Structure 1
Amino acid sequence: MARTAGSHSDITGPRVRAAALRLFARDGYAAVSMRQIAREVGVQAGALYNYTPDKQSLLADLMIGHLTQLLETFRDDSSSSPAARLEHFVRFHIGFHHERPDAVFIAYMELRNLTAENFARVESLRRVYEDRLEAILRDGVATGAFDIEDTKLATLAVIAMLTGVTTWFREGGRLSLDDVETRYWSMVRRAVGA
């Protein structure tokens, strides 16, 4: 099948992923067809298969790409105090996800549409990230800096609370992003008994 005039492989692949991300976040994975993605990118539907084997692979690649970037970007300085490490985690998580609301929405709302194999791949990456936060919380408990009964439960609660910012925060609102990070850090600090 001929390539649409003006399309180039080095830019079309990223455009396919960007269009799929927007459409999946806006309409839901199940409601989006490969034809819609192709139309959004400006290529023929058959050309998409040069960039992805199928829609399921595209969804998994978007989620895995988001989580891989998250893991590569987050840095924990284990020589710092547990409180400083936790504050860094809080601010990092909010800031990183604020810049990627569509990826966050898909990463949480479209898990149900993954095959068992793809779900396992995504879940293992999520667990690595959760484990990084739980290590901070365990260190805080061990040093007496935090008072937490169940570090796994606290990990999941903190991540859910921080991720929720992407659903309501808007630039130009009552609070700046820095204000939100500061207030959430205060809430998290109290939640872990610091």
Structure 2
Amino acid sequence: MSLTGTRVRDAAVELFAERGFHGTGIRDLAERAGLSSATLYHYMGTKEDLLVSIMTESLERLLKAGERFTGSDPLKRITDLVELHVLTHATHRLETRVVDDEMRALSPDRRGAVVALRDRYEALWQDAIDAGCADGVFHVRAPKVARLALLEMCGGVARWYAPAGPIALEDLALRYAEMALGVLGAAGPPPVFQVDSVRRVQVIVDEIWA
């Protein structure tokens, strides 16, 4: 992507997160990107094209990262996914807020492909939860509801986390992993989480979002 294209994308992410898709006008985007409206159209197509591009790129990154966490241990897989979701929603909070909040703004003919990406990512969570229930590692009566609750819980980080706040991001991700196992009714004594686990996930995030 060219430098100007990047400016347009960054402006759109900021404004869509601040004002919503429908609350953002073409003039707003042009002013935020420092371009004329005519030049803006050259780099963005329609406003919906820009929204679809932002959502697709973000979800493809999440899916690519989530697919790194495979294996036979469902507890480890769900822990990695929780840490991934918390880290990305804390460090790329505007982008992830756009994806989480503006899906309803897409027209029906554009929504399908984006929803399919989201569903593929969420299926990684559901597979880990279902495997844990089958193995007797997790004890939860409504696995699908548990998945939705965990995604909502972790995604909420984008609305309040501040790097200068009282808790370090690594510690926050660990605490969320602990809470996730509580939601899932994990059997046995709670595992001792190590910060190295979060750092390993952060390396993947840094690589894919570079």
TM-score in same-fold range (> 0.5) = yes
For residues 82-137 of structure 1, what are the alpha-carbon distances to aligned partners after superposition, in whole Å with 9 as ceiling and x for unaligned? 11111111111101221111112111222221101222222111111110000001
In the alignment, the residues of structure 2 paired with residue 170 and residue 43 of structure 1 have an alpha-carbon distance, to the nearest angstrom, of 30
What amino acid is aligned across from residue 185 of structure 1 in structure 2?
Answer: A
Q: Does 1:102 align with 2:94?
A: yes
Q: Show the counterpart of 1:55.
A: 47
Structure 2 residue matching 1:29: 3-state secondary structure? coil
Give 4+ residue runs of structure 1 displaced > 4 Å after superposition: none
Q: Does 1:129 align with 2:129?
A: no
Moved more, 154-163 or 42-51: 42-51
Q: Show the counterpart of 2:200.
A: none
The correspondence of residues 50-129 of structure 1 with structure 2, limited to 5 A, is: 50-74=42-66, 75-79=68-72, 81-129=73-121
Structure 1 residue matching 2:164: 3-state secondary structure? coil
In the alignment, the residues of structure 2 paired with residue 66 and residue 187 of structure 1 have an alpha-carbon distance, to the nearest angstrom, of 25
In the alignment, the residues of structure 2 paired with residue 83 and residue 108 of structure 1 have an alpha-carbon distance, to the nearest angstrom, of 25
Structure 1 residue matching 2:109: 3-state secondary structure? helix
In the alignment, the residues of structure 2 paired with residue 13 and residue 168 of structure 1 have an alpha-carbon distance, to the nearest angstrom, of 29
Identify the structure with bigger relative contact order (alpha carbons < 8 Å, sequence gap 6+).
Answer: 2
In the alignment, the residues of structure 1 paired with residue 161 and residue 32 of structure 2 have an alpha-carbon distance, to the nearest angstrom, of 27
Equivalent residue for 2:28, pick from 36, 45, 61: 36
The correspondence of residues 154-173 of structure 1 with structure 2, limited to 5 A, is: 154-173=146-165
Q: Does 1:175 align with 2:184?
A: no
TM-fit CA distance, 1:43: 2.0
Q: Does 1:13 align with 2:5?
A: yes
Structure 2 residue matching 1:173: 3-state secondary structure? coil
In the alignment, the residues of structure 2 paired with residue 139 and residue 145 of structure 1 have an alpha-carbon distance, to the nearest angstrom, of 8
Q: Which runs of 5+ in 2 are unaligned?
A: 187-210
In the alignment, the residues of structure 1 paired with residue 143 and residue 47 of structure 2 have an alpha-carbon distance, to the nearest angstrom, of 37
Q: Which runs of 5+ in 1 are unaligned?
A: 1-8
TM-fit CA distance, 1:39: 2.1
Structure with max Cα Rg: 1
Partners of 2:59 and 2:118 within 8 A in 1: yes
TM-score by length of structure 1 reads: 0.89
Q: Percent identity?
A: 32
Partners of 2:85 and 2:154 within 8 A in 1: yes
Q: Show the counterpart of 2:205.
A: none
In the alignment, the residues of structure 1 paired with residue 63 and residue 169 of structure 2 have an alpha-carbon distance, to the nearest angstrom, of 22
Q: Show the counterpart of 2:190.
A: none
TM-fit CA distance, 1:33: 1.5
Cα RMSD after superposing both structures: 1.5
